[in-house]
Amino acid sequence: TYSGTVAFTGTGNDLANTITGGAGNDLLDGGVGNDTLIGGAGNDTYIVDDVADVVTEGLNAGTDLIKTALASYTLGNNVEKLTYTGSASFTGTGNALVNTITGGAGNDTLDGGAGNDTLIGGAGNDTYVVDSASDVITEGLSDGTDEVRTGLAAYSIAALANVENLTYTGSANFTGTGNALANTITGGAGNDLLNGGVGADILIGG
C-alpha cells in the first residue's frame, strides 16, 4: 500500500498480491498470480498479467489505462482506456464510458461498447465493432484488410481511407457506403441500400 501523494510504481511477485496506490498517477503491476490492483485517484495505469486479476477504480478517479498481453480483455467499471501489448490477435471490449482501445500487430477485434469510443487497430486484419455513430476509427495505410461491423441503421466508411469492408449486423433496413478502396459491403435481412463508391466493390444484400 502506498501512503504518499505523488506518482507511485508498485510491482508484485508470484503470489496473489493486493497493491494499492494513492492520489497520484500510479503504475500498478501485480505480476504473476491472481492480483487485486487498487489505483485510487489520479490517472492510473494497470498492468494486467492474469485473467483473474481484479482492477478496482473509483468513480471519477482520473482517466485510467489497462495494458495487457492477454488474448482478450473487457474493461470494468470506471476505467477508460485499454491497450494491447502483445503481438498476437486480440479482442478488446470497452464499457459505457468514452473508451480508447488500442490493438497491436495481430488480427484484432475492437468493440468500444456504449459511448463515443476511439478504436485503433494497428497492423493486421482488424475488425471494428461500431456501436455509436460518434465512434472514431484509426487505421493506418496498408495495415491489413479491415472491417467495420455495425448494427446502426446507416454507416459510411467514406472517411475511413484505410478500411476496406463493411458488414451490417442488425435486422432492419441498412444504408452502407464505401470509399475509394475495393470494398465488400454486406447488408442484412432488411431493405438495404449499398453504395460501394469508387473502386471495384462487392455488394451483398442479404
Query: Does residue 131 register a pLDDT over 90?
Result: yes
Question: Would you state the pLDDT for residue 206?
Answer: 82
Tell me how crowded residue 90 is: count the other CB atoms within 10 A of its CB: 30
**pLDDT by residue (tens digit) across 20-65?**
999 999 999 999 999 999 999 999 999 999 999 999 999 999 999 9
- Please, is 115 exposed, middle or buried when counting C-beta atoms within 10 Å of its C-beta (0-12, 13-18, 19+)? middle
The whole-model pTM stands at 0.96
In b/e form, how buried is each residue of 133-163, taking b as 16+ CB within 10 angstroms?
A: eebbbebeeebbebbbbbebeebebeebebb
Q: pLDDT-based confidence at 138, cuts 50/70/90?
A: very high
Joined together, the cell numbers standing for residue 34 give 491472481
